[in-house]
Amino acid sequence: SPEAAEMAPKGKDAKATASKAAKAVKKNIKKKTLKPRYSVVFHRPKTLKRTRDPKYTKKSAVGLEKLDQYAVLKCPLTTESAMKKIEDNNTLVFLVDVRADKKKIKKAVQNMYDIQTKKINTLIRPDGLKKAYVRLTSDYDALDVANKIGII
């Protein structure tokens, strides 16, 4: 038929393709062997991890510090026991932010009232607020400072 004649290659090409086919038939067909697996759990292969290379910054401006001196010290305590501390122990008592540590409290007191502190004790009250006992150095009198603040 004319269609079959068109499909088969002619001349030298026909011999070449026939010999290729014959070689392929004679060769041993390799069966792909499975790689033995020695572990019962499957670990996903490690792939390339690229470092972040952002096209623009997500934050346009640097955020402000959340705990400045005004946020650290909330208010002075004016209870009877706090007054006794002022008179007897040269100590001021403040309610402070729960996230504030002793160093931040010391810095805030120093900046706001211009006084040096000897030591600071803190506790968290049962209602969740933090209380700070600020012991002043002997150079400063807690009564004078309390008057200046307006506690007494």
Tracing tokens 């009232």 back to the chain, one arrives at: 113
What's the pLDDT tens digit per position in 33-92? Answer: 888 889 999 999 999 999 999 998 888 888 877 889 999 999 999 999 999 999 999 999
Tracing tokens 């209870």 back to the chain, one arrives at: 79
**Centroid of chain to Cα 56:** 20
Spatial separation of the C-alpha atoms in residues 142 and 130, rounded to whole Å = 20
* Cβ count near 86 (within 10 Å): 23
What's the pLDDT tens digit per position in 23-38? Answer: 888 877 777 888 888 9
Q: DSSP of 112-143, one letter per residue?
A: HH---EEEEEEEE-TTS-EEEEEEEPTTS-HH
Confidence check: pLDDT of 97 > 70: yes
